[in-house]
Structure 1
């Protein structure tokens, strides 16, 4: 019976974990969501991981919109993060909010994958101590950016990946 109890406890813990974060926050509870976001920030700061995005200031309409996403590890030890909901995997989830200057959200046109929880070991990436890793993705492959305008990009995948991007970035998509 003792082994069954231990096994059951382990199964419950695994079921509630997602990339090192609890994902038991009610979708419609603003207070709980704010608390969860604060927990993600604190966890990421403790781990020493954070990410930054960059894109050219002006991009000619028709050219690719190359977003560079870099994860930094300021900790004294090697750290891990879940690559789900980051540019380190193909567009199979909406992890960015892309909005025009008028506030109109750009449609996400990529796939929306369902995930098996907890994430398998292969879904984690390693960042060595005091190091960084980067990837570049063409936003036109996942977002319907067609109109010339100024756009703002906000990273919203932190609940899955555990990564925090503090600053939004902007670019002008010009004729």
Structure 2
């Protein structure tokens, strides 16, 4: 009986210290989630958006250049996550490239695994009333090989926070 009381006291002390650590971890988790949600969600009423542009007709063998432009029509600095946009090297599939008949051009680029939330360095600022543009060659990540009419749709909005209303099309023609 004398040995049970010290053991019981030690068990209570250990459990109470575990409980304290858990509540500290929970408090820390809530704080991290609050920071994540603040950085991750786009503020309501902000209208930063992107648009796609390219030539209507491209000869097989030429580069298939896609221009991606981010616009900030607001009166304050806005930002977007560069992940899943052309503002970083091809690290993920954020475009659907399909022939008009529905056949998809295979994505052949890298597929990055990332830690969430995105670090501050993964965000790009856009000044009020300004825009940023970048041009990429789709052939560096997508297998566009045969002649036909292709449709490109941006699918990275969930990660970048950028909406693109319209798709673009191009005819891939024999030289």
Specify the SS of the correspondent of 1:11.
helix
CA contact (8 A) 1:55 1:67 kept: yes
Match of 1:26 in 2: none
Aligned length: 152
RMSD: 2.0
Of the three residues 17, 24, 33, the one matched with 1:12 is 33
Which digits, 9 at most, give the CA deviation of each residue in 1:115-171, with x for residues without a partner? 111101110000000000000000000100000000000000000000000000000
Would you say 1:128 and 2:149 are equivalent positions?
no
- Please give the TM-score of this superposition, normalised by the length of structure 2: 0.81
CA distance in 2, matches of 1:159, 1:66: 24
For residue 76 of structure 2, what is the aligned residue in structure 1? 77
Q: Following the alignment from structure 1 to structure 2, what is the Cα–Cα distance between the partners of residues 96 and 174?
A: 21
Is the CA contact 2:58–2:64 (under 8 Å) kept in the aligned structure 1? yes
1:1-175 equivalences under 5 Å are 4=24, 6-14=27-35, 17=37, 20-21=40-41, 43=42, 46-175=45-174
Question: Partner of 1:9: helix, strand, or coil?
Answer: helix
TM-score normalised per structure 1: 0.81
Following the alignment from structure 1 to structure 2, what is the Cα–Cα distance between the partners of residues 52 and 103? 22
Larger radius of gyration: 2
Residues 164 and 18 of structure 1, relative CA distance in 2, 3 Å threshold: farther
Distance 1:97 1:109 in 2: 12
Q: CA deviation at 1:44?
A: 7.3
- Note the alpha carbon deviations across 1:80-127, whole angstroms, 9 max, x for none: 100000000111100000100211011000000001111011100000
* TM-superposed deviation, 1:20: 1.7
The 4+ residue runs of structure 1 with deviation greater than 4 A are 16-19
8 Å CA contact 2:40, 2:117 repeated in 1: no
Unpaired segments ≥5 residues, structure 1: 22-42
**In structure 1, how many angstroms separate the alpha carbons of the residues matched to 2:27 and 2:44?**
31
